[in-house]
Structure 1
Amino acid sequence: MILTWLYVPGDRPDVVTKALRSGADAVIVDLEDAVSASRKEYARAATAELLTAGHEVPVHVRVNALESPWAGADLTALRGLPGLAGLRLPKVSAPEQVATVARRTGGVALYALLESALGVERAYEIGRAHPALRGLSLGEADLRADLGVSAETGLDWPRSRVVLAARAAGLAPPPQSVFPDIRDLQALAVSCARGRALGFLGRAAIHPRQLPVIERAYLPGPEEVTAAEEIVSAARATPGALALPDGRFVDPAVVAAAHRTLTLSRRADR
């Protein structure tokens, strides 16, 4: 289960190599915002070379925006490379964009980044666009600009919307968007706790020092683990809906959530 996704610039192969040893669950090589126009071609070639072989850590690539001059060349250069675990598609605003990329990329896992009001409004349709689509997430910097939002709470509705749409589309819970201040780890922890309460699972990072904070925030605490163990044990003894001795009502959905909590707790024991 992936909790930490580390973004690294595609025109810095040395930084990508370090990222693969950072402890992140997955590395996202960025060909878009982190790379200037004059470095796009070099970043693409360096990333394609990196992905001629597999890596222990899954490597995803965020290609350039699909309507940009560079996206077509990105998709062509990356198609069929054995080390490519997934493609992140920025600024998706219509399901047809996902379907078009899926036809061009030979079945590699796709992830749609929703960065506009229109993209968020169409989140469910985008989530159902093609079987190759494995996840949704928000691009909050662009979304803030599109909505004219400055306060942190101003994005709560779009965040809940993408969590709901992903679930309705049968996709995994989305990871949180990046936290831009790499120095304020306390604020990062607070933000992660809020994201977890909204239904996110894990988070993208832009610096390795953020990874342990994200992981701790999304791993269950001892009380959560104990409660999950009680639920799973009771469900084994009495299949179907039941009431626990303390009055809590348990149905299959609650049991499924308890199993996920225990899966995450085993990760903490590694």
Structure 2
Amino acid sequence: MTDFPLTWLYAPGDRPAVVAKALVSGADVVVVDLEDAVAPGRKAYARAATAELLRDPQPVPVHVRVNALCGPWAEADLAAVAPAPGLSGLRLPKVSSASEVVRVARRALSAHGGVLPLYALLESALAVERAHAVAAAHPALRGIAIGETDLRADLGVRDDAGLDWSRSRVVVAARAAGLAPPAQSVHPDIRDLEGLAASCAHGRALGFLGRAAIHPRQLPVIERAYLPGEEEIEQAEAIVKAAATEQGAQALPDGRFVDAAVVAAAQRTLSLARRR
């Protein structure tokens, strides 16, 4: 795995056998879900099973999506999993303010004994409007992303293109706060691999990097969509080579303009290319 994860596979916390399969699926990050994938009557079991799993280090980074911070289960989720040594990050659903991030960051820091990476999911119109404030809320916050199902319902959007402004808003907010590019929201139809590939291509064009998945069969499609092609790699190599021999902004022989931001993007491309 590079410094830029491309695949984030969700697995329901109340199904340990499914979580075990996710851990060997090839996903860059496994997200154990205590929220939407778990029925109310199974919350306590999912929480206990996840805490038990995370008593030990895992073969890949494991994040936990806790329940909504304003709901009845979040406090118990945080108390159970935040201290776990096998936990690599917390995903916070339905975040709509910077203060929520700060509160969880302080609690997680105390419980985990060090900085625990946090990822905020923006799932409402208010959250999207406050995207930069959330993204810049605390140093422990390492990423933001959209929860598109809830956002679609909140906005009353009927066509997928109706989410593009919100998507771009979150991409810009992440960049402005110095965070990594967001990962795309899940593609809910696990059989529609062609649609997934097309959606990933669109997301990549908007500035996303990688995608959450709900089934292992989606992982290779996401990875292929987000890996650079041969022409991209050649262009990136030329940019990095030119930057190593010249100082400041410059123009390449083919007319492309190169400055620090372009070089950084080229370096990211080469980092991703090492996965090929």
- Bucket of the pairwise TM-score, normalised by the shorter protein: over 0.9
2:88 matched to 1:80? no
Indicate the residue corresponding to 1:241 in structure 2.
249
C-alpha distance in structure 2 between counterparts of 1:250 and 1:66, whole Å = 44
1:174-224 alpha-carbon deviations (Å, 9 max, x no partner): 000000010010110000000000000000000000000000000000000
- Partner of residue 29 from structure 1, selected from 29, 32, 42: 32
> Pairwise mapping of residues 46-85 of structure 1 onto structure 2 (< 5 A)?
46-85=49-88
Indicate the residue corresponding to 2:216 in structure 1.
208
- Partner of residue 175 from structure 2, selected from 148, 158, 167: 167
1:12: how far off?
Answer: 0.1
Structure 2 unaligned segments of length 5 or more: list them: 110-114
> Pairwise mapping of residues 1-270 of structure 1 onto structure 2 (< 5 A)?
1-106=4-109, 107-268=115-276
C-alpha distance in structure 1 between counterparts of 2:252 and 2:175, whole Å = 27
C-alpha distance in structure 2 between counterparts of 1:246 and 1:100, whole Å = 51
1:30: how far off?
Answer: 0.3
C-alpha distance in structure 1 between counterparts of 2:257 and 2:140, whole Å = 37
3-state SS of 2:10 partner: strand
Aligned-residue Cα RMSD (Å) equals: 0.7
1:1-39 alpha-carbon deviations (Å, 9 max, x no partner): 210000000000000000000000000000000000000
Q: Which amino acid aligns with 1:112?
A: A
1:87: how far off?
Answer: 0.4
C-alpha distance in structure 1 between counterparts of 2:250 and 2:117, whole Å = 39
Q: Which amino acid aligns with 2:9?
A: L
What TM-score, normalized by structure 2, do the two folds share? 0.96
C-alpha distance in structure 2 between counterparts of 1:109 and 1:259, whole Å = 24
What TM-score, normalized by structure 1, do the two folds share? 0.98
Counting matched residue pairs gives 268
C-alpha distance in structure 1 between counterparts of 2:152 and 2:175, whole Å = 23
3-state SS of 2:143 partner: strand
My pick for the range that moved more, 236-245 or 15-24, is 236-245
C-alpha distance in structure 1 between counterparts of 2:54 and 2:192, whole Å = 33
3-state SS of 2:68 partner: coil
1:70-94 alpha-carbon deviations (Å, 9 max, x no partner): 0000000112210000000000001
C-alpha distance in structure 2 between counterparts of 1:243 and 1:111, whole Å = 38
1:250: how far off?
Answer: 1.0
My pick for the range that moved more, 102-111 or 171-180, is 102-111
Structure 1 unaligned segments of length 5 or more: list them: none
3-state SS of 2:26 partner: coil
Q: Which amino acid aligns with 2:106?
A: R
C-alpha distance in structure 1 between counterparts of 2:77 and 2:61, whole Å = 19
My pick for the range that moved more, 149-158 or 234-243, is 234-243
